[in-house]
Structure 1
Amino acid sequence: MNPVLLWFHQLGSPPIFDRFAARWAPWCYAVAFILMGVGLWQAFQVPADYQQGDSFRIFYIHVPSAMMSMLVFGLMAVYAAIALIWRIKLCEILAMACAPVGAAFTVITLVTGSIWGKPMWGTWWDWDPRLTTELILLFLYLGVTGLYHAIDDRRAAARAAGLLAIVGVALLPVIKYSVVWWNSLHQGQTISLFGDSKMDPSMQLPFWLMFVAVQFWFAGSLLSRARADNLRRESGKDWVAKLAAQS
């Protein structure tokens, strides 16, 4: 077997995943904190926007969070699909661990968007297509989380919640193209992962630092939450008892 495939196969073992998550989650958090610190410092060094002034600086928190709110939901749906098709328990755990973290990114997106919208639009909230679809995304995250915890059987709960995640992924292109399809107050795409960005290159460094930082923060959060769920599911096993005794 290919060494990479063998490693992924072995990672599906609960004890091996526990060791992997325990080892790498703190490193992910550490890298995230460092990059966030540098990114936020750089965000206050770039010149003010010629139209929005200093209020544009919230962009460096708002946009990475908004991108993560959609990326995490897409990843959750992928994990859920793998779990439903191949019955891989670790993918069930990872899918369900995505939901609270993605919901947190969505809340940050909505809050920072409201703070940014007040001086720009004159209101904290408007039923704009982008804002409304992002709010629906939050409800989907909460629905997945609530459904998972509403069913006692963990495997059945993960399958039901995963199915909701797979269906809900249809919302993502609606969020992305809402500013194109409808008359929207929300500005169009400013920066792009692939292709040209409308932002001046001198202002892009803090964004990329923050974007990479939230990736590491998500990875650390995902591993920590998945590890906790994995331990709860395996609580009756000998290896968990040995781990508890060592602690």
Structure 2
Amino acid sequence: MFSYLANPARFDRFARIAIPVTGFLALVLILPGAWFALFASPPDYQQGETIRIMYVHVPAAWLGLALYLAMGVASFVYFVWRHPVADVAAASIAPIGAVFAALCLASGALWGKPTWGAWWVWDARLTSMLIQLLLFLGYMALRGALEDEKQAAKSAAVLAMAGLVNLPIVKFSVDWWASLHQGASVMRLDGPTIDPSQLLPLLLMATGFTALAGWLVLYRMRSVIIDRRARALQAQREARA
């Protein structure tokens, strides 16, 4: 699959189909998910109406991690095989992943204030997620700081791969250290512990947000590839003139 999509022309054909499909999926999943989350699911017996922040916070947290993993894998593919589309993927994922990581932290602060009595605590989960956001920002800053595009891509790829070590820290921080943050309640070996009336909108929002992220990444990647192709053609014309 990687080798097939490494060809820009093949990726363009794939993106022309995948972009409208992921956009449509995002729409048909997020709209009912939002309705269930706001109106059809009950308030929590302890947290009351503030539980509704979960339907944005949890998908944003999931994507903050999943998109970094995708960026790290794309960076590895580029670093080893020098596939230009892999570099485009990593560069396109970074700002989108940063937005979801920031949304996770912002929604977590809104949720934490009525639940813990504080907007922010230096909890292991919160701190490691903040580091995750800084890794996204650092990747973008490093690419922007170097004028040579190939050197920038290579250096940023090394940073992205090194940052992968933070993913298990975020995931297992509540198990490894004393934490105010609750443990996993959906992805558990013994099954979800969350009530089905809350699990349904959460799954709808999570899959909808994932489709939205896919749409954003593919749209951005196709735009970057078209822009690079246009600049290459312009350079050829200028060289002939």
Query: Normalising to structure 2: TM-score of the pair?
Result: 0.90
Q: Aligned pair 1:37/2:16, yes or no? A: no
Distance across 1 between alignment mates of 2:220 and 2:189: 31
Distance change (3 Å), C-alpha of 1:22 and 1:76? same
Q: Aligned pair 1:82/2:80, yes or no? A: no
Alpha-carbon deviations, 1:210-247, whole Å to 9, x = none? 111111111111111111221232223459x9xxxxxx
> Partner of 2:184: helix, strand, or coil?
coil
Structure 2 partner of 1:169: 164
Residue 22 of structure 2: which of 28, 34, 50 is its match?
28
> Partner of 1:190: helix, strand, or coil?
coil
- Gapped runs of 5+ residues in structure 1? 242-247
| Aligned-residue offset at 1:70 | 0.6
Number of equivalent positions: 235
Residue 66 of structure 2: which of 71, 76, 79 is its match?
71
Distance across 2 between alignment mates of 1:27 and 1:49: 35
Distance change (3 Å), C-alpha of 1:149 and 1:23? farther
Distance across 1 between alignment mates of 2:16 and 2:188: 31
Alpha-carbon deviations, 1:55-78, whole Å to 9, x = none? 111111100110110111111111
Runs of 4+ with deviation above 4 angstroms: none
Q: Aligned pair 1:17/2:8, yes or no? A: no
Matches within 5 A, 1:53-72: 53-72=48-67
| Aligned-residue offset at 1:18 | 2.8
| Aligned-residue offset at 1:201 | 2.2
Query: Is contact 1:93–1:158 with CA below 8 Å preserved after alignment?
Result: no
Distance across 2 between alignment mates of 1:194 and 1:217: 28
Residue 41 of structure 2: which of 39, 46, 57 is its match?
46
Q: Aligned pair 1:184/2:175, yes or no? A: no
Alpha-carbon deviations, 1:137-166, whole Å to 9, x = none? 101000001111222232221111111010
Alpha-carbon deviations, 1:95-151, whole Å to 9, x = none? 111111110110110010000001001111111111111111101000001111222
**AA aligned opposite 2:208:** A
Distance change (3 Å), C-alpha of 1:208 and 1:194? farther
Distance change (3 Å), C-alpha of 1:66 and 1:132? same
> Partner of 1:105: helix, strand, or coil?
helix
> Partner of 2:162: helix, strand, or coil?
helix
RMSD in angstroms over aligned alpha carbons? 2.1
Please, which moves more after superposition, 17-26 or 157-166? 17-26
> Partner of 2:40: helix, strand, or coil?
coil
State the identity as a percent.
Answer: 39
Query: Is contact 1:22–1:224 with CA below 8 Å preserved after alignment?
Result: no
Distance change (3 Å), C-alpha of 1:234 and 1:154? farther
| Aligned-residue offset at 1:202 | 2.7
